[in-house]
Structure 1
Amino acid sequence: MRFHAGFLALGAMTIAALVYGLAGEYGPADSTTDAVVSVQKPVAAPSEPKSVKPRVGTDAKVPQGTGFDFYVLSLSWSPTFCQSNGASRNREQCGQDKRFGLIVHGLWPQYERGFPESCPTDQPQQVPRSLGRQVIDVMPGMGLIGHEWRKHGTCSGLDMADYFSVLRQAYDNVRIPDVLRGTRHQTRTSPQALEDAFMADNPGLSRSAVAVTCDNQRLDEVRICFSKSLEFRACPEVDARACRRSELTIPPLPQ
């Protein structure tokens, strides 16, 4: 009897140990799942602001300029420029075999009111062609590149290479709407509709951070305001100079 009683006691202890072990195995897993859910919920909450990150090179550091408040990235509608007097002034942009749409007119350091220009610098005045080649696909013409460096880049507080690096990053951070891609026929739209298209394709871009300008009745430029870290930001003075027409014409790309 004593043998049987001891055997039964030993069996009970073994079963209890197994039950405790199973509880220890599954218990932490359940509590870990709860912890993960509680951490993830705030990230998915609609009220959380979305950070605006570059579409290209999200880990790239932006060289920090000094001596101004923000940037304006000026994007020029090349067909308008070339229909005016640009064809004789810049064959790299307006030659018969060129098919440019929106190109970079410049990256302009701005004050909250007004802007600096042609600032003193210890940097060279002439942009080397080797450096110009890094942006000439979006800023066609060494003459344009050199002019923009001397008038605006010298006021950025950056050396020449860093200025054009920031210019390139700013351009790459903007998604061009389909309405301005492959435009083969002259179209008409409103400045507000174009601004709406840019806002729709660029999360975080507000109406007060983008301004469409016009040359008489034609699309001239799209100007987008960035902080020194290349985040979209409002710029009331720039926005106040936007085109006030109810409609404008978008000249087509060259055939």
Structure 2
Amino acid sequence: MGRYTGLFAFGLLLAASVVYSLLPADGPAERSTPIASSTETAPPRSPEQRQPAKGTDTPEAPQGSGFDFYVLALSWSPTFCDGEAAGRNREQCGAGKDFGWVVHGLWPQNETGWPENCPTPEGSRVPERIGRTVIDIMPSMGLIGHQWRKHGSCSGLGMTDYFKLVRQAHDTIRLPTELSNVDIESRTSPQAVEAAFIRSNPGLTRSAVAVTCDRERVDEVRICLDRSLGFRACPEVDSRSCRRSEITIPPTR
């Protein structure tokens, strides 16, 4: 049964790749648009780019400050757990763990570059009572603490509100069914993975999402969100998409 499920998912990904090639770009030359510096005024965004990720019923997001937008990085856990760091992260990669897409981080971003490791009166250690509010989507206290120190500290939010926002950002995204549980290793393209996320999330556009790869394996899907968690274009992030024609999706454990 697992083999047939995997073949069906692979067929869906191939179909998504074809659909992707037919999707309209967000503008006449979106990928080659010069990137404004963080001191310049960004051009107004189109209604499509400002569309909330999951409609108007999304709870009001805590409002950060001091940056232009967020990148929600969703990591494919089997790829991470196949790497050298897996042995140091038993919470995510230990026996019996079968995570798929997990939150790597919610990163404050500027049109060019990003802030990191900002001074904050909140301190650097995330208490377990706060970490446990997101441990199901960020399955390691080490990861949670690192993301707060490097990225959350630059959000302009307190620790509680930042991780509340991480939860809200995660919950705005619909994971494609064919990419939620992968029973057998399959090969596809970065464009097919991107297309699957676009089909599952109305309002998400090609210039608002990037798929990255770890050598020949899928690594992350990075989705750009404004400070109210609506989808928005991000040329610099999009330019770092994986350039391989094919990538492998390792199976969940």
TM-score, normalised by the number of residues in structure 1 = 0.78
The RMSD of aligned alpha carbons is 1.7
Pairwise CA distance, 1:195? 0.6
SS at match of 2:83: helix
Letter in 2 for 1:96: A
Q: Answer yes or no: is 1:119 the counterpart of 2:118.
A: yes
For the 8 Å contact 1:127–1:146, the answer to whether it is kept is: yes
Q: 1:64 to 1:78 in 2, by over 3 A?
A: same
Pairwise CA distance, 1:59? 4.9
Letter in 2 for 1:229: S
For the 8 Å contact 2:49–2:232, the answer to whether it is kept is: no
Letter in 2 for 1:245: R
Bigger helix fraction: 1
Mapped partners of 2:182, 2:252: distance in 1: 6
Higher relative contact order (CA 8 A, sep 6+): 2
Mapped partners of 2:167, 2:77: distance in 1: 18
Pairwise CA distance, 1:85? 1.4
Alignment match, 1:78? 77
User: Over alpha carbons, which structure has the higher Rg?
Assistant: 1
Letter in 2 for 1:215: D
Q: 1:51 to 1:149 in 2, by over 3 A?
A: closer
Alignment match, 2:163? 164
Mapped partners of 2:164, 2:86: distance in 1: 28
Q: Answer yes or no: is 1:227 the counterpart of 2:226.
A: yes
Pairwise CA distance, 1:180? 1.4
Alignment match, 1:189? 188
TM-score, normalised by the number of residues in structure 2 = 0.79
Equivalent residues, number: 207
- Greater alpha carbon shift after TM alignment, 175-184 vs 220-229: 175-184
Identical pairs, percent:
61
SS at match of 2:82: helix
Mapped partners of 1:200, 1:145: distance in 2: 30
Pairwise CA distance, 1:86? 2.9
Letter in 2 for 1:79: P
Mapped partners of 1:68, 1:51: distance in 2: 17
Q: Answer yes or no: is 1:130 the counterpart of 2:129.
A: yes
Alignment match, 1:250? 249
SS at match of 1:116: coil
Letter in 2 for 1:186: E
Mapped partners of 2:234, 2:49: distance in 1: 20
- Structure 2, unmatched stretches of 5+, are 1-46
Matches within 5 A, 1:1-255: 52-53=51-52, 55=54, 58-254=57-253
SS at match of 1:211: strand
SS at match of 2:192: helix
Pairwise CA distance, 1:87? 2.1
Pairwise CA distance, 1:51? 7.5
